[in-house]
Chain A
Amino acid sequence: MWLTRPFNERSTQIFLLILTVAVIAVTVLHLAVPAGHPLYVSGYTVGLLGKYLTYALLAVAVDLVWGYLGILSLGHGAFFAIGGYAMGMYLMRQIGDRGTYGDPILPDFMVFLNWDSLPWFWYGFDMAWFAFAMVLIAPGLLALVFGWLAFRSRVTGVYLSIITQAMTFALMLAFFRNEMGFGGNNGLTDFRELLGFDLRSGATRLGLFIASGVALALGYVVCRSIVGSKLGRVCVATRDAEARTRFLGYRVERFQLFVFVVSAMLAGVAGALYVPQVGIINPSEFDPIFSIEIVLWVALGGRASLYGAVIGAVLVNYAKTVFTGVMPDAWLFALGGLFVFVTVFLPQGVAGLLGHLKRRRDDEPSDSETPDKEATA
């Protein structure tokens, strides 16, 4: 009764359809079209698109808390990175004795830093089920503890944003420390295989791309069902007028906590899929700047519209790929200008623009999902 059936919604159907077609198209073009043909999609591009899809899932996770709950998290990069580290630790353990020093248990970086045994938190990561569970549990747990402390004492608005930033900053510093046992600045790298599939083969990369597409679709459906349900309505009410919602008898902090944890888990999944595709996880993913950038994707795509977050993530990252290739100097100007332009002129983002166009054509009253005002009280 708290959750709705999201498949009944038209926007979800369209989104899933487009995503499915896109994933299948890329797969077919990669496999069936001969290399050199203008329609051929190279392995490099498949990897690139796979990365975009994980970013899109991350953006959806951020949009869930920012767009529908009014919590501007400047620390979602942390959940993404933790999910990534969980996957990275599994992949490190999979290397086994094929590492440089041939140690069957210890990863290379531990051998040459003279660790004599595996730290306790590395136990279990040789088992796929455990590692995959940790992809969800570790970021979820962090979100639970952090959210419980924050929401219980009604830390809201700007304060919450700043302390989420403090959280990811502190984690970045911590993971940079070599004593932590996560490989320090070098992070985890030199992965070999995932579930027995060779990570250095094109087929595995295609598989990861498809998996990322599926994860995005699932994540989208989960978010959609939360948002479209009564629970989602309470969230939106909290976003727009927290005090009033509280007075109506809702335990606001419980709703906030639940959604925050779900969002963190989705971010963790995104991170876990990201790591095998790019081949490295290191503390720079915890960088507060990265977390702010994620928020920009959402803002550009359109806050409080899940497909908007996807559009934003793909657009910005595609632009980044192109710009850093063509004119590296101009990239920061473009990114910075984009921030300013979107917030000042496109407060509803691309999705808002699309919605506006659609309304004009259909000439029908809007189904207002976008925030009326900033929730800062």
Chain B
Amino acid sequence: MRIPCYSWTPRVMPRIVTCLLISLLAWFPMAVQAQEDDGQALLEALDTRSFDDKSDAITAIIESEHERADVWLQALLDSDLQRLKDSGRFVIALETAGLDVTVEDAMTGEAIGEVSRRDLDRLTINNALRSQLRSAISLVELYNGEQDARLDAARRLIGNVEEEQVEPLTNRMAEEPSAAVRHRLNQALAVYRLNQGDVEAVEVLSGSLNSNVRVALNRATQSEDPLVVDAATTALADIEQNLKINRAAETLYFGLSMGSVLVLAAIGLAITFGVMGVINMAHGELIMLGAYTTWAMQQLLPGQPGLALILAIPAGFMVSALVGVAIERGVIQFLKGRPLETLLATFGISLILQQLVRTVISPLNRTVITPEWMSGSLVVNDALSLTLNRMYVLGFALVVFAGLILIMRHTRLGLEVRAVTQNRNMARSMGIRATRVDIMTFALGSGVAGLAGVALSQLTNVGPNLGQNYIIDSFMVVVFGGVGNLWGTLVAGMSLGIINQVLEPWAGAVLAKIIVLVFIILFIQKRPRGLFPQKGRAAEG
């Protein structure tokens, strides 16, 4: 019988002892050097159920300055530090394949090969240990890391400075080359001083938007020293004012970001629906195909999610455009002049495409990796940071929009499309091949949907239902903006996004959405052709 070394109940203590004995037995006969003895003992201390004891063990490892200490800590942080059940040997997991794990020896770093995961015990950590490990690693980095790492380490110190750290930190501040890091360290020390009741510290802290600073100032307002209370209150009022502005900026950014998603999803529809008069209910599925293309590209280029994402932009466009052409040729061309019936037929196509993805790929969501350069956020100040993935999507939406405007205004295709839209028969008699224009327009609209899918893969689930979640919103945006008007779509998308995000904090997400929908319904009653109605004959079409 295998003896589980891990178990929570106290009554199995003897088992742990047995485990220890077995490990000791396995360990003693080996000819080991002193260094390894120490290492083994240090790691041995980690193998305990109590997270408090583990915490002590980590401190011991940090203080031991063992040459492999950093490897261990990193492995522990990544949950790769494991132990063979039978021999008690500590190993570091390198790769997991199915039920087997490739490991190396934790002491020496020599490769061991594949081991069944049944034979491994993982040394688990919890959040407390994780932050202990991180701050240990980051404290080291404060002295010899890159500037960003140093800045981050200094930020972590705000509100967390202990008495014995004051002196080394003051020294460090004097040596620190970067002004930004120095500023942070200064603030960190000031918070410490403020907690000790030093009024002058408030001056250093005023204007800071850091939440720990705010907490410290708030605490200072409860102080017994009236001077401190006064200073802290003034500083806080100042900060509150500043925060309000930042919060407004943040809401605006949220709105623009949501708007950019709406614009991206709707702009392809604005072309097929607005220009061609085709109600393409399969538009959402064309978006979905773009997202799946991104996933497929990442599967083709493992390890290079960024490159795959960039390549997915043309690929997603092509895939959706081709499917769009197939839809146009296969179905829509037979339904000329019957827009409401295109709605039904394309709805059928959307069901087929969804089920196709479920059957061929999987009903489960697919993992699309966000490349390093797109994750995280751009820190404007302590109270305002703009998430990078959304910023890229916002930029991408604007680029796509500008590209479409250019195509419609300044290319022959755009000219022909406009001609066919305005008067099909006249355009044909002028020698424009209307059928070709139809195909090209539909391909363009569908391709743009594919682009939207590439972008959305970075924000939401990539699954068979992706398209359905956006189709209704897309129609609302196009109708609200005015069918056949690209600028209308941009303005509509952005304003709906902003309205939604402004309403959300006080109305809640659901109510905000309902209010927006009711608003659109009422707006259409007032202006049946949207914000920017099409003028002239085409409007009667």
Count of A interface residues, CB-CB < 8 Å: 47
Q: List the B residue with the shortest CB-CB distance to A374.
A: B338
What DSSP secondary structure best describes chain B's contact surface?
Answer: helix
Chain B hits for A337, CB < 8 A: 348, 352
Chain B hits for A161, CB < 8 A: 279, 340, 343
Kindly state the separation between the CA atoms of A183 and B528 in the bound complex, as whole angstroms: 35
Are A336's CB and B521's CB within 8 A?
Answer: no
A79 at the interface (CB under 8 A from B): no
A72 at the interface (CB under 8 A from B): yes
Q: List the A residue with the shortest CB-CB distance to B518.
A: A170
Are B359's CB and A329's CB within 8 A?
Answer: yes
Are B355's CB and A158's CB within 8 A?
Answer: no
Partner-contacting stretch, out of B140-148, B307-315, B508-516: B508-516
Are A163's CB and B343's CB within 8 A?
Answer: no
Chain A hits for B351, CB < 8 A: 332-333, 335-336, 339
Are A159's CB and B472's CB within 8 A?
Answer: no
Are A333's CB and B355's CB within 8 A?
Answer: yes
Chain B: interface residue count, which band? 35 or more
Kindly state the separation between the CA atoms of A295 and B279 in the bound complex, as whole angstroms: 15
Interface readout for A339-377 with B: 1 if CB under 8 Å, 0 if not? Answer: 110111001000000000000000000000000011011
B28 at the interface (CB under 8 A from A): no
A155 at the interface (CB under 8 A from B): yes
A322 at the interface (CB under 8 A from B): no
List 9 other contacts, CB 8 Å, given A169-B517, A329-B358.
A152-B525, A155-B525, A159-B524, A161-B343, A163-B520, A332-B355, A337-B348, A339-B345, A374-B341
Q: A162-B475, A296-B344 known; A376 and B355 CB under 8 Å?
A: no
Q: How far is the CB of B221 from chain A (nearest CB, A)?
A: 37
In order of increasing CB-CB distance, the 5 nearest A-B pairs are: A339-B348, A336-B351, A336-B352, A332-B355, A170-B517
A24 at the interface (CB under 8 A from B): no
Are B521's CB and A166's CB within 8 A?
Answer: yes
Kindly state the separation between the CA atoms of A158 and B277 in the bound complex, as whole angstroms: 9
List residues 470-516 of chain B with CB under 8 A from any CB of chain A. Answer: 472, 475-476, 479, 483, 510-511, 513-514
List residues 418-457 of chain B with CB under 8 A from any CB of chain A. Answer: none
Kindly state the separation between the CA atoms of A149 and B524 in the bound complex, as whole angstroms: 9
Are B350's CB and A336's CB within 8 A?
Answer: yes
Interface readout for A150-191 with B: 1 if CB under 8 Å, 0 if not? Answer: 101111111101110111011001101100000000000000
Q: How far is the CB of B304 from chain A (nearest CB, A)?
A: 34
A338 at the interface (CB under 8 A from B): yes
Are B521's CB and A299's CB within 8 A?
Answer: no
Are B340's CB and A329's CB within 8 A?
Answer: no
Kindly state the separation between the CA atoms of A296 and B525 in the bound complex, as whole angstroms: 27
Kindly state the separation between the CA atoms of A338 and B528 in the bound complex, as whole angstroms: 33
B540 at the interface (CB under 8 A from A): yes
Are A374's CB and B528's CB within 8 A?
Answer: no
Are A157's CB and B340's CB within 8 A?
Answer: yes
Chain B hits for A374, CB < 8 A: 337-341
Chain A hits for B348, CB < 8 A: 296, 335-340, 343
Kindly state the separation between the CA atoms of A202 and B387 in the bound complex, as whole angstroms: 60
Are A288's CB and B472's CB within 8 A?
Answer: yes
Q: How far is the CB of A74 from chain B (nearest CB, A)?
A: 8
